[in-house]
Amino acid sequence: MDTFDFLTGNIDLILKLTVEHLSLVAVAVGLATLTGVPIGIAITQNERVARVVLYLASIIITIPSIALFGIMIPILSTIGQGIGYLPAVIAVLLYSQLPIIRNTYTAINNVNPALREAARGIGMNPVQRLRMVEIPLAIPVIMAGVRTAVVMNIGVMAIAAYIGAGGLGVLISRGITQSDPRQLIAGAIAVSILAVIADYGLLWLQKRLTPKGISA
């Protein structure tokens, strides 16, 4: 009941933190998509490189977020950005690489070889093949990777409050330090709801982007 009162009484604050939280994740995953998709496509050309890249991305994702923030503080301090917005975005960008690269790589690799042969046979160059055939067919799987990255990193971003990046993690960290379960629970609930809503929102986007001829 207390928590409920806290939620209703601080709706402005919670909304502000939610927007902050979401924009951090959106910027980071957006950038990760811009890097991850081209990398995922590029590594389909060479199996050895693909193995190395996917391995590196897997290693990155195993680093605990709190440790990653710790590592970045001295490095980014050299440009005066040891804590706050920049390290938070970089961490999420790194964590997003694995699901996005791996899904892109898998999706492009799994395009039916007959389609690829047909595309070559009728005289499409590699860029046209990607643009007209391979990427449109890979969209559902690539988007699934983006969704995974977003949901996962909405959780990671809650921890970024500890390095002053803001977001809903602020409520959680305050709840712990002030021994105030209302803030703690409100923050946790808000993060969960945000993750669910973001996932559904992206699912809707995924369906919009999937070519009609292959949508279920």
Residues that bind another protein (CB under 8 A): 112, 114-115, 117-125, 128, 132-133, 136-137, 211-214
* Tokens representing residue 55 in the block: 């391995």
DSSP 43: G
* Minimum distance of another protein from residue 105's CB (angstroms): 19
* Minimum distance of another protein from residue 127's CB (angstroms): 11
Rg of the chain on CA atoms, in Å: 20
Compare residues 77 and 125 and give the one whose CB is closer to another protein: 125
* Minimum distance of another protein from residue 212's CB (angstroms): 7
Q: Which amino acid, 123?
A: G
Compare residues 58 and 112 and give the one whose CB is closer to another protein: 112
Cβ contact 165:87 at 8 Å:
yes
Compare residues 64 and 211 and give the one whose CB is closer to another protein: 211
Please give the Cα distance from 155 to 171 (Å, whole number).
Answer: 13
Compare residues 63 and 124 and give the one whose CB is closer to another protein: 124
> In which element (H, E) is residue 42 found?
helix 11-42
> In which element (H, E) is residue 209 found?
helix 181-209
* Minimum distance of another protein from residue 119's CB (angstroms): 7
